[in-house]
Amino acid sequence: MKHVALIGLGIMGRGLAGNILKAGHKLTVYNRTRDKAEPFAARGAQVAASPREAAAGAEIVISCVGDDAASRAVWLGGDGALAGSAPGAVLVECSTLSLDWTRELGETVKARGLDFLDAPMAGSKNAAANAELTLFVGGETAALDKARPVLEAISRRIAHLGPIGAGATYKLINNMMAAAQVAGLAEGMRLAEAAGLDMGQIRELALSGATTSPMVAAKAPRILERRYGDIDFALRWLLKDVRYALALGKQYGVSLRTMEATEAVFQAADQRGHGDDDSAAVAEGVDVDGQ
């Protein structure tokens, strides 16, 4: 069994923590708000006062936070996890981040003589809770082999895509395609409503024909019912991923016109106060009668 540090106990991080404990690994957790850590303390996890304290003595250090700024804050600085990481540790970034920051972090970690994997996750809250995530991994095979017992405890599939940054790259591609599906679904459902179609019938058709997908199946009922609570994936985080993907497209000289349009719909919903709702709330960014 491994000694694991987990930094970040949001919607996804809580699922990771539960499965790491279930697999029998020793776990130390850190979260900015301590109350989210208490349920895991009751299950045997240690609760640290800082990322540095969490990382001390851990063989595998995992971060699961919201964006580049949060990742930078938990890894770097005097209280950061990198400062507390022990020789021989593998540092694993499971957050969805920009390619530039992922590579910078990887270089910083390697300069300290430690191993680094970027391993962003595909899957929502339920997938995290049930260890059904797919991990898109970038990094050296030897580092992955060291971390594999822990990564297998939180996922159903580990896709090793190449060197550091490969995981981050594909995760942004994955999420931009998902965002386009949700935005297209939202516009389609609003158009069907405006046309006066039977929405019960439309729901059945959308979920049974060529238009369906796991993403459509998850979001169509929410959009039709305008049910945006009990969040699987907050709209503001998917908007962030779309923006990181647009930056990735510029970096590689690929025009992402569909993503530009998708960003506009998500941004409209965010500006209308739905950033902390489930990403299905992108439907509130679709203009109807100019509203």
Parallel, antiparallel, or unpaired: how do β-strands 121-122 and 133-138 relate? antiparallel
Contact at 8 Å (CB) between 278 and 230?
yes
Whole-angstrom distance, CA of residue 166 vs CA of residue 161 = 6
C-beta neighbour count of 83 within 10 angstroms: 16
Whole-angstrom distance, CA of residue 54 vs CA of residue 17 = 13
Active site residue 250: no
The catalytic position among 2, 146, 171, 219 is 171
The answer for 88, left when phi > 0, alpha when psi is -120 to 50, beta otherwise, is left
Contact at 8 Å (CB) between 242 and 199?
no
DSSP, collapsed to helix, strand or coil, labels residue 213 as coil
Helix (H) or strand (E) holding 242: helix 235-252
> Would you please indicate which residues are annotated as catalytic (active-site) residues?
171
